[in-house]
């Protein structure tokens, strides 16, 4: 393979300004220059990209770099161009370019100006691109994020499985380099087989990032914990990962109104918005980016100081790669994951209906995540072991850099309780979920327990002296240890494995269950933040509301407009809840935008301010930070549609929403103090007897939680959708 006269060391200095290589970078580069297929497993921040960039720069021809993300390509190309004056040295060829731009890219490649051409696997698959690549000199192919090839990897992309076929279509002799920041032995084998590079030279760097601190927290008041942590680390850059786009936007908006400079980032935004938000993060115009886990950002920012997983990830590979964005400069990096087993159950539900093989893979990957969250050993040791690497937790680099090492979990010998637990699962014929079994054990006589007459069983109430949370921890840890498993095909019913049967016959002398770390006490003083909701559903101030309506009427006459043009009733009701006394606070009131606040707001905040002072009112804002208010036109449309008695299905269809999403919007509306009358719809869909039973239930219930209601009222008698509709009716009639 022909190269320039520059040695690798000289080229490193000339092109990138570095005096020395990291780890085994130089050996990797030499392998590619010698024409060998090369497999590189190197953690995020280890200098993986340089392994193909430098060889590409000093060889004849153009290196093809296959990358899964447009954002990542742009980031890489911008980075390479920043090292020199030649903007043609690197290009990307993807769907973001127009025809003129594509023509220019191909011309630069043909003329030999371009040393690196970034392509998505979908672009490589196009015949016109294959024909073009056959006509130019290719130095080698680099497959970045190679774990996408493997169904056992965390970002499996079917298009990646065809890469080898495409490369052969260009030139069978082209050397291939595969690079990944996460690969278990199983994933590594899968990648090598699929790319037909079983004989490749393999270079595996240590996965240990000693500067990262790993921590898993119970997902209790998670938003409050989150805001408190960010405020305690004011000015530091951080990334927060969520599973859904909706949650990304909710969290970002909540952070914003709590005085934190944050922006959302997910694949649902147009390319311009994504690019702008990413650039603002890179340029430190904002401190925090909230992003979806499934959509990587290609962020190459060295001073990210914390990475938070608001939702538990689907795999440890994904988790490890995302945490790897913290502390890439070797400085501080804190990795916090919020863990609630309900999130795991949600992910399991999403698997239902998928092919069995896919379910098996997904379940095993999730089991590893649960094991990590539940473990009491050093989290670093657990992670490194998962990636096939041993590590000394006493003397190894990064020792005492995780919550379990610094603050060991309390141990409880649960062997006798485990015997009771297995007996309970067996007694109910392995036909019930964990919650039901715990209710039987603690003697909670729910309607379901009563229906199946488990309240008459000898095991009913046998475990009432034990904390229900410990029973749940025991079930999770029994699953982690392979004694129990949840059958996804039967919606998560608990079953006993062969290993569990052996446990029952020959139980060990002890079985340790670990209590979660206690963050609740720490949160009691954290009253400076709130969840994404209105102020606790407090009743509005009727006296103030009357005064506000009188003021609105007065101003409407002065302006010669109808009163609703000034502020609509929901806005006045929200003012009577929130007591805004500044223009900025008024902007956060439902239905009040910046323009309206400035145009009409001054007399209203003067009235409210005087009222608050005269009546010595303790405002919600004095106790908590402003809550998020959804000001979208969608809500107005929904409310108006219900007023006109349009069927809810039609409202959802018109707005392009799933019915479940419409229910969420209705819940937000009534929870924020607006009354909705959906009797016209409910009376057509739900029996009157059911309506009365649910109304009576919520009048007595301690919580409005739907899962608890479903469990109490009977999963066979009600659907979640029915209960949500009836809760909306209840909240409208009783709470509002």
pLDDT in tens, 488-514: 566 668 899 999 999 999 999 998 888
Is residue 625 very low, low, confident or very high in pLDDT (cuts 50, 70, 90)?
very low
At 586-623, the pLDDT tens digits run 888 876 766 678 888 999 999 999 998 888 887 765 54
Count Cβ atoms below 10 Å from residue 570 Cβ, excluding itself. 20
Would you identify the CATH topology of the domain 411-515? Arc Repressor Mutant, subunit A (1.10.10)
Q: Tell me which fold the domain 542-623 belongs to.
A: DNA polymerase; domain 1 (1.10.150)
Give the pLDDT of residue 518: 57
Domain 8-204: CATH superfamily, name plus number: P-loop containing nucleotide triphosphate hydrolases (3.40.50.300)
Provide CATH code, domain 633-735.
Answer: 1.10.10.1390
Name residues whose C-beta falls within 8 Å of residue 684's C-beta, 6 or more positions apart in sequence: none
pLDDT tens per residue across span 439-483: 999 998 888 888 899 999 999 999 999 988 889 888 877 887 789
Domain 212-406: give its CATH code: 3.40.50.300
Contact 627, 257 (CB under 8 A): yes
Question: What pLDDT score does 84 carry?
Answer: 58
Strands 201-204 and 38-41: parallel
Work out the number of other CB atoms within 10 angstroms of the CB of residue 692: 11
Alpha carbon distances (Å) from 246 to 92, 373, 401? 30, 25, 33
At residue 300, the pLDDT reads 65
Mean pLDDT of 44-67: 87
Closest CA to 727 of 660, 681, 663: 663
Using CA atoms, how far apart are residues 50 and 684, in angstroms rounded to an integer? 64
H-helix or E-strand spanning residue 119: strand 116-119
Structure-model confidence comparison of residues 459 and 163, the more confident one: 459
Fold matches, 542-623 and 633-735: no
Whether the Cβ atoms of residue 55 and residue 33 lie closer than 8 Å to each other: yes
The closest alpha carbon to 573, from 596, 598, 592, 593, belongs to: 592
pLDDT at 631: 44
Nearest to residue 302, comparing CAs of 75, 591, 575, 631? 75
What's the pLDDT score for residue 43? 77
> Looking at residue 535, what is its pLDDT?
32
The reported pLDDT for the residue numbered 528 is: 43
Q: What integer best gives the mean pLDDT of the chain?
A: 82
Q: Which sequence spans correspond to the domains of the chain?
A: 8-204, 212-406, 411-515, 542-623, 633-735
Provide the pLDDT for residue 321: 84
For the purposes of burial, counting CB atoms within 10 Å of the CB of 81, is it exposed (0-12), middle (13-18) or buried (19 or more)? middle
pLDDT of amino acid 2:
42
Report the alpha-carbon distance of residue 562 to residue 320 in Å, rounded: 58
pLDDT value at position 526? 41
- Mean pLDDT in residue range 124-140: 87
Let me know how long the chain is. 736
- What percent of the chain shows pLDDT beyond 90? 24
Nearest to 245 by CA among 273, 279, 215, 281: 273
Q: Which residue has the higher pLDDT, 336 or 204?
A: 336
């Amino acid at each position: 393979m022909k190269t320039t006269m520059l040695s690798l060391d000289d080229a490193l200095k000339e092109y990138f300004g570095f005096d020395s290589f990291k780890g085994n970078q130089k050996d990797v580069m030499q392998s590619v220059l010698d024409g060998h297929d090369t497999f590189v497993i190197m953690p995020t921040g280890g200098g993986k990209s340089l392994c193909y960039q430098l060889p590409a720069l000093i060889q004849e021809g153009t290196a093809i770099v296959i990358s899964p993300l447009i954002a990542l390509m742009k980031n890489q190309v911008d980075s390479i161009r920043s090292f020199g004056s030649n903007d043609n040295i690197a290009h990307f060829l993807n769907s973001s370019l127009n025809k003129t731009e594509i023509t220019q890219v191909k011309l630069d490649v043909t003329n030999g100006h371009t040393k690196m051409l970034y392509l998505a696997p979908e672009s490589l698959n196009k015949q016109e691109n294959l024909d073009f690549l056959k006509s130019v000199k290719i130095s080698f192919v680099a497959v970045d994020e190679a774990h996408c090839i493997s169904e056992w990897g965390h970002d499996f992309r079917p298009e990646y499985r065809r890469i080898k076929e495409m490369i052969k279509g260009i030139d069978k002799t082209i050397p291939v380099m595969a690079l990944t920041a996460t690969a278990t032995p199983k994933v590594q084998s899968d990648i090598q087989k699929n790319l037909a590079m079983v004989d490749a030279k393999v270079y595996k760097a240590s996965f240990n990032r000693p500067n990262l601190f790993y921590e898993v927290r119970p997902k209790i008041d998670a938003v409050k914990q989150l805001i408190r942590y960010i405020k305690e680390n004011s000015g530091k850059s951080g990334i927060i990962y969520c599973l859904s786009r909706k949650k990304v936007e909710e969290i970002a908006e909540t952070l914003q109104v709590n005085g934190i400079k944050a922006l959302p980032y997910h694949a649902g935004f147009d390319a311009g918005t994504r690019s702008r938000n990413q650039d603002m993060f890179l340029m430190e115009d904002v401190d925090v980016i909230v992003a979806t886990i499934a959509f990587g950002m290609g962020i190459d920012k060295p001073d990210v100081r914390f990475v938070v997983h608001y939702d538990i990830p689907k795999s440890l590979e994904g988790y490890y790669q995302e945490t790897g964005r913290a502390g890439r400069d070797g400085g501080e990096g804190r990795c916090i994951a919020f863990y609630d087993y309900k999130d795991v159950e949600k992910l399991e539900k999403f698997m239902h209906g998928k092919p069995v093989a896919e379910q098996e893979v997904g379940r095993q990957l999730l089991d590893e995540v649960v094991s990590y969250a539940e473990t009491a050993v050093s989290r670093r040791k657990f992670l490194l072991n998962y990636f096939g690497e041993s590590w000394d937790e006493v003397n190894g680099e990064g020792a005492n850099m995780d919550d379990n090492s610094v603050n060991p979990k309390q141990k409880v010998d649960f062997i006798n309780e485990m015997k009771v637990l297995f007996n309970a699962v067996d007694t109910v014929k392995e036909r019930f979920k964990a919650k039901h079994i715990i209710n039987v054990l603690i003697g909670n006589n729910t309607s379901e327990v009563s229906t199946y007459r488990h309240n008459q069983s000898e095991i009913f109430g046998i475990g009432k002296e034990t904390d229900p949370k410990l029973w749940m921890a025991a079930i999770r840890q029994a699953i982690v240890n392979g004694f129990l498993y949840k059958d996804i095909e039967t919606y998560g019913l608990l079953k006993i494995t062969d290993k569990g049967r052996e446990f029952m016959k020959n139980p060990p002398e002890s079985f340790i269950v670990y209590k979660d770390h206690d963050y609740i006490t720490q949160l009691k003083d954290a009253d400076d933040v709130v969840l994404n909701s209105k102020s606790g559903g407090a009743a509005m101030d009727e006296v103030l509301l009357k005064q506000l309506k009188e003021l609105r009427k007065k101003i409407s006459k002065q302006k010669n407009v109808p009163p609703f043009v000034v502020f609509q009733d929901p806005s006045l009701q929200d003012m009577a809840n929130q007591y805004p006394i500044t223009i900025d606070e008024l902007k956060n009131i439902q239905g009040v935008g910046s323009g309206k606040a400035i145009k009409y707001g001054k007399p209203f905040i003067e009235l409210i301010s005087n009222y608050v002072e005269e009546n010595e009112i303790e405002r919600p804002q004095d106790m908590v930070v402003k809550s998020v208010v959804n000001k979208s036109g969608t809500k107005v449309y929904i409310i108006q549609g219900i007023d006109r008695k349009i069927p809810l299905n039609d409202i959802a269809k018109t707005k392009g929403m799933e019915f479940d999403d419409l229910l969420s919007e209705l819940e937000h509306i009534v929870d924020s103090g607006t009354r909705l009358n959906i009797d016209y719809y409910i009376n057509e869909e739900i029996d009157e007897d059911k309506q009365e039973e649910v109304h009576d239930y919520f009048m007595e219930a301690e919580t409005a939680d739907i899962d608890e209601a479903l469990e109490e009222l009977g999963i066979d008698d009600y659907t979640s959708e029915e209960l949500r509709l009836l809760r909306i009716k209840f909240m409208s009639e009783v709470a509002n």
